[in-house]
Copies of this chain bind each other. A is one copy, B any other.
Amino acid sequence: MHSFTEENYLKAIYKLQEANGLVVATSSLAQVLEVHAPSVTDMLKRMAGKKLVTYQKSKGVKLTEKGRQVAVGIIRNHRLWEVFLVDKLGYKWDEVHDLAEQLEHIHSEDLTNKLDSFLGFPKADPHGDPIPDANGILPKSKAVLLSTFAEGDQGTFTGVTDHSATFLNYLDKTGFSLGDPIKVKGIEKYDQTYTLQLKGKKEVVVSFKVANSLLLSQ
């Protein structure tokens, strides 16, 4: 089995690769993992020895197929446990991340699959992030940022790109709820604020920053 630390590196590399391209820099990893760069260099060497990543000195790192499998497995665990915490234990969507960070490292494929079944094979976690299936296949999302919408466009709110508790709280307070329809009533040229019509005709005005963190589908 892999250590928690290794698994956290794998997850971080996976996410950075998804977000920013093929190869991940030492400094990016150091930043997201909150360790110093030499620790990362150290760890990457060890992980390369275990064939979890391919690492070229001063050229960055990427996952091997084996590393990718492990990373996706952890993401599957994480998102399933988030669903459990929200659906079964009554946690709010802004409270579950840290707990899921612990639970994701429980090592048992069988447990993961039984949990999946218990939860009714959910397709997405409480933030709308897709849950990889038992084969490590992660459905490609077709959601787009609200910030790409024009006046009159509409869609369904299906995800966020900012997972911070403060942002999620702001959404709650303002009346955003996953699965609800959103329509763009207007976009102010001057400061790029969006006037939106939420479910129940409620109108709200949000900044570009917010529009750029909301994912809509259809």
Contact = CB atoms under 8 A, between A and B. Distances in A.
Interface residues of A, number: 15
A20 B189 CA distance: 77
Nearest to A90: B114
A115 interface: yes
A90 to B, nearest CB: 7
A96 to B, nearest CB: 10
Nearest to A113: B89
A108 interface: yes
A204 interface: no
Contact of A115 (B89, B114, B118): B89
A102 interface: yes
A102 B91 contact: no
A205 to B, nearest CB: 35
A206 interface: no
Contacts of A85: 111
A185 to B, nearest CB: 40
Task: Classify the secondary structure of A's interface with B.
Answer: helix
Contact of A102 (B88, B106, B115): B106
Interface string A109-122: 00100110010000
A55 B115 CA distance: 42
Nearest to A89: B114
B114 A106 contact: no
A119 to B, nearest CB: 10
A163 interface: no
Interface string A179-194: 0000000000000000
Contacts of A99: 106, 108, 111
Contacts of A115: 89
Interface in A98-146: 99, 102-103, 106-108, 111, 114-115, 118
Nearest to A95: B110
A61 B108 CA distance: 34
Interface in A153-191: none
Interface of A: 85, 88-91, 99, 102-103, 106-108, 111, 114-115, 118
